[in-house]
Amino acid sequence: MKSNVLIIGNGFVGSKLKKYLSEVQDVNVHHVFSLNYFDPKQIQNSIENKIVNSKIDWVINCVGYTGSPNVDGCEDNKQDTWYLNVTFPSMLANICNRYGSNLINISSGCIYTGYQKAFTEKCKPNFGLWTPESSWYSKSKHACEMSFANYENVFNFRIRMPVTGNLNEKKNYLTKILKYNNLIDYKNSKTVINDLLSFTYNFIVRNKTNILPSGNYNVVNPEPLTTKEVVEILDGYEFWNPNWQWIDLEKLYESTKCGRSNCVLDNEYTTEITGISLPTEKESIIKALDNEK
């Protein structure tokens, strides 16, 4: 029996997820993307009607505010950031709970920073609500996780620095690397979007009987690369920015409005609990670039 899935949002992730799930078996895809997300009454009526009339098993929220051109934009739009990253997904969690549907929330792992350890799903955020130097974006993602804490039907997928092989996409980490003249060399967990798409599908298929626990899942590729290692891969495909220069974080902060998250997420729990393994970061980045040739 196929699962009925409702995707909310038509942005960088939502549009790809709709296309991917529409082409696989075991899933009937429904899509909502033309709503006024800032109108709670419209949201509630539309989503409730869709869940009831289409017998939705899974709602996948791909709506969020990441700032433009980067998280500095969230500092200038704190109200919208909080609404779309905290209030809106919390509203969806309530609706799904009321009608017995599951919610997958596509979120972020940028609530940690530092390299004292690889951060698991159980680690207390050290770059969130209680950290003065954290970004408003990170604070909102931490707050959203707190609002989900008591829901047994909510699965929060933490992704970081999304990667595709399409270098024309503004949200693509590789596109940003090529565009920025100043780079910092840190090892950071990343999520290759093709792997997120397949992970989401397999997660839904394997959880038809609600055997997987609710909560946070670190959906990142293992064996994360440093920025210089990513640049080496891009160079191998003859992608290069002649204006690149390597700077330290303090220098970067001279031109930013807020702090940045630099960290490695541990995905062993996610792999063990779900039985879904993601390829290494290097392997998936190369595959993504090869597919765009």
Give the chain as a DSSP string: -PEEEEEE--STTHHHHHHHHHTSSSEEEEEE-SS-TT-HHHHHHHHHHHHHHHT-SEEEE------SSSTHHHHH-HHHHHIIIIIHHHHHHHHHHHHT-EEEEEEE-TT---SSS-B-TTSPPSSSTT-TTS-HHHHHHHHHHHHHTT-SSEEEEEE-SEE-S-TT-TT-HHHHHHH-SEE---B---EEHHHHHHHHHHHHHHTTT--SPPEEEE---SSPPBHHHHHHHHHHTT---TT-EE--HHHHGGG-SS------B--HHHHHHH--PPPPHHHHHHHHHHHT-
Note the pLDDT of residue 81: 98
Average pLDDT value for residue range 84-91: 98
Position 293 pLDDT exceeds 80: no
Q: Please state the pTM of the whole predicted model.
A: 0.97
Domains of the chain: 3-163+189-220+264-278 (3.40.50.720)
pLDDT tens digits for range 147-174: 999 999 999 999 999 999 999 999 999 9
pLDDT tens digits for range 231-277: 999 999 999 999 999 999 999 999 999 999 999 999 999 999 999 99
Note the pLDDT of residue 23: 96
Average confidence score pLDDT of the chain: 96
Note the pLDDT of residue 69: 87
Position 292 pLDDT exceeds 90: no
